[in-house]
Amino acid sequence: MFRNQILSTLRHGLGYCTKYPLTVALRLVQGFCVAHLFNEYVGGFRLVQGPSMMPTFSPNPEMRGDLVVAVSPRDPRALVCKRIIGLPGDVVCVDPTGEYAPSTEHVYVPKGHLWLMGDNASWSRDSRTYGPVPMALIRGIIVARVSRRPHV
């Protein structure tokens, strides 16, 4: 019975598509336009992969600073998820871990730039390797975390 209802609905939908193809095409174009505008100006979903932000995605209330999504300065086709460490005019420690530079080395963050760093410093390529990031590369601020339910 349920199968018959599904088939009937599909036949009706296909009949509508063949009877009014321009209306269906217009609705599809409108839907894609709305989705594009929402994704570009309001917000969207992004898949974050890799170990560079690992501590953030496990509960850790001691982390401070906003999380942002930015275009990678190394690969303009890629997006990166990093934490803002320094704002324009700040003096920040280049590498608090001492892996890339002595922990006593500091840098001035120029106007229109941010200093970004991954929470998992040993696995992160961030401002320690490519320097201050222009604000124009920032695509958005992360405001929520959605994750899959762990497998049981």
What residues are annotated to the active site? 52, 82
What pairing do the DSSP bridges indicate for beta strands 138-141 and 67-71? antiparallel
Contacts of 5 (CB under 8 A, 6+ apart): none
Nearest to 87 by CA among 64, 103, 105, 54: 64
Strand order from edge to edge, sheet including 79-86? 133-134, 113-117, 79-86, 67-71, 138-141
* H helix intervals, 20-110: 21-41
Contacts of 86 (CB under 8 A, 6+ apart): 92, 109, 114, 115, 127, 132
DSSP H or E stretch at residue 74? none
